Amino acid sequence: METTAVNVDLTRLKASICRESFYHFVQEFWETIIPETPVWNWHIEYLCDELQYMAERVFKGLPREYDLIINIPPGSTKSTVASVMFPAWVWTRMPTARCIGGSHAHSLAMDLSLKTRDIIFSEKYREYFPDIQLRQDQKAKSHFKNTKGGTRYAVGVGGSVTGMHGHFLLVDDPINPEQAVSEAELKTANRWLTSTLPTRKVDKEVVPLILIMQRLHQNDPSGHLLAMPDLKIKHINIPAERTNTIKPLYLRRYYKDGLFDPVRCSRAVLTEQRQILGEYGYAGQFLQHPVPLEGGAFKVGRITIDTPPSKMKRVVRYWDKAGTLNDGAYTAGVKMGEDHHGRFWILDVKRFQLEAFAREKLIKQTAKIDGKACYVLVEKEPGSGGKESAQNTIRNLAGYKVKSDNPGGKGSKELRADPFACQVNGENVFMAPGPWNKAYIEELQYFPNSTYKDQVDASSGAFSFLRPKRRKGVF
């Protein structure tokens, strides 16, 4: 009898500790779903504490202080902690909690939900928390409920959440690496995160969004949300190597020999992954900065900002046009010159989203400011619509040295940009100071993974005209 009483007391003690500490819960229940011996790197306890802090406010009904974005390399136990263990632990403190878990594919979301269910079905969980029981009529893999009213619902990004409301919105890898290069897939994921999912909160003042993912693109869901100025977000950024992008910055102290996890992400592992993924893939998925540290195709740190000389050999303004007001691609007009020392200068950039009439008006105003000594090139898009648009601009600029340019036969955007990139990387490109500098440099830095490519396209076209071996008969 005494032994039984001691065992009961020990079980209650362990259960109490697990309730009070999510990290202890993860340690205690690891073996219920994962057979491998755990590696307790520092980041696991850190992430557990961050998630518990947000949960405690929900338990008390307090307004959320922020939404949470966690960027961390693959294979770092992020899904086990945030998507599998966390909902099971939440029920030990708030059995009525409803959790919505989303991932890029419904099959992945369902698999994570199934693992949560496996924990709840485990002998240890039933022993520690006997009051948490699943309803017999609602225990499917993707949607199950307990007898207290709590639910765990799995959904793929873009999937329906109609009728569902959550106390916790958990989004784990909303896009995969293949989708990251698709503008349509990025838009779908971003729209779902910003327009659909937020309407599924039980209490919009209290319920947090928790997004955990590896970075894949400048405008992936993390980048999209971080660029929205009105959102209050805590951004945890944990790259595999110690870089200046670590957030919060004090986490640098936990890196050993420059590595965030010397076991999971050793030097040998990272070297292999760099070779497999290439520079862009590695920079996003492992460094959490979706552009190589040296700047991708354009080493933008090699562009010198300075006052341009008063006289140039040739000057051209190249227009890459778009025609939608406040949406889609930008119209970009890059003014570039070559000085008498063979150096190339970015003299000015116009960049805007306007409908056709206002766009053509601004293009003409710009031509007047540039003067008639400045050549004007207008990109001619494929098809009759593109030809007509270019012809309209040429008519609009009667009296100026203007012609259309068809870049379609010159290869891909990357191929067309390469000659200009060589000049940038060779420290032979200079730039006049101006308020447009930041947006211009950022687009070059992220190219070809940049959200927009209009300024790069216009720069490629301008340089193609200015370079010494330019095609005869352009003007």
> For residue 174, is pLDDT > 90?
yes
422 is a domain residue: yes
Digit-coded pLDDT (tens) for 335-374: 999 999 999 999 999 999 898 999 999 999 999 999 999 9
pLDDT number for residue 293: 47
Question: Which pLDDT score, from 0 to 100, does residue 313 have?
Answer: 94
210 and 341 in a single domain? The answer is no
- As a whole-number percent, the residues of the chain with pLDDT over 90 amount to 69
**How many domains is the chain partitioned into structurally?**
2
Token digits of residue 233: 């977000």
Whether 290 is in a domain gets the answer no
Q: Are residues 140 and 6 both part of a single domain?
A: yes
Q: Is the dihedral of CA 176, 180, 181, 182 positive or negative?
A: positive
Distance CA 103, CA 109 (A): 5
How confident is the model over 34-69, as pLDDT tens digits? 988 889 999 999 999 999 999 999 999 999 999 999
Claim to verify: residue 324 and residue 202 sit in the same structural domain: no
pLDDT on residue 296: 64
With 70 as the cut, is the pLDDT of residue 472 above it?
no
Last residue of a domain, one of 204, 237, 270: 237
Q: Is residue 253 part of a domain?
A: no
Each residue's pLDDT tens digit, 414-427:
888 889 999 998 99
Q: Do the domain assignments include residue 262?
A: no
Residue 233 and residue 304 in one domain: no
Q: Are residues 311 and 219 in the same domain?
A: no
Q: What is the pLDDT of residue 385?
A: 65
- Which range of residues forms the domain containing residue 361? 300-466
Q: Of residues 281 and 97, which shows the higher confidence score?
A: 97
pLDDT for residue 279:
72
Say yes or no: 232 and 312 in one domain: no
What is the per-residue pLDDT for 394? 93
How would residue 408 be classed by pLDDT, with cut points 50, 70 and 90?
Answer: low
* CA–CA distances in Å: residue 297 to residues 151, 333, 443, 449, 468: 48, 21, 11, 10, 22
Instruction: Give the pLDDT of residue 471.
Output: 47
Asked if residue 284 is part of any domain, the answer here is no
- Secondary structure of 95-139 as H, E, C letters: CCCEEEEEECCHHHHHHHHHHHHHHHHCHHHHHHCCCCCEEEEEE
pLDDT tens-digit map of 277-312: 877 788 889 999 887 545 567 888 899 999 999 999
Indicate if 40 and 183 belong to the same structural domain. yes
Residues 222 and 342 in one domain: no
pLDDT at 7: 63
Q: How does pLDDT run across 245-257, given as a tens digit for each residue? A: 999 999 999 999 9
More confident residue, 142 or 332: 332
Examine residue 244 and state whether it is found in any structural domain, yes or no: no
Interatomic CA distance for residues 239 and 74, integer angstroms = 10
Looking at residue 429, what is its pLDDT? 96
Domain boundary among 237, 256, 274: 237
Q: With 90 as the cut, is the pLDDT of residue 181 above it?
A: no
Stretch 97-122: mean pLDDT: 94
Q: Return the amino acid letter for 80.
A: T
Starting at the edge strand that comes first in sequence, how are the strands of the sheet with 314-320 ordered?
A: 304-305, 429-431, 344-352, 331-338, 314-320, 375-379, 402-405
> What is the reported pLDDT for 346?
97
Say if residue 99 is in the same domain as residue 208. yes
Banded pLDDT at 470 (limits 50, 70, 90) = very low
Q: What is the CATH number of the domain that holds 344?
A: 3.30.420.240
Amino acid at 338: E
Q: What is the CA radius of gyration of the chain?
A: 28
Q: 317 near 376, Cβ under 8 Å? A: yes
Q: Does the reported pTM lie above 0.75?
A: no
CATH number at residue 123: 3.40.50.300
Residues 37 and 149 in one domain: yes
Q: 349 and 444 in one domain?
A: yes
Please identify, among 237, 253, 271, the residue that sits at the C-terminal boundary of a domain.
237
Q: How many residues does the chain have?
A: 475
Same domain, 57 and 157: yes
Mean confidence (pLDDT) of the chain: 89
293 is a domain residue: no
Supply the pLDDT for residue 325: 52
274 located within any domain: no
* Choice between 474 and 466, residue whose per-residue pLDDT is larger: 466
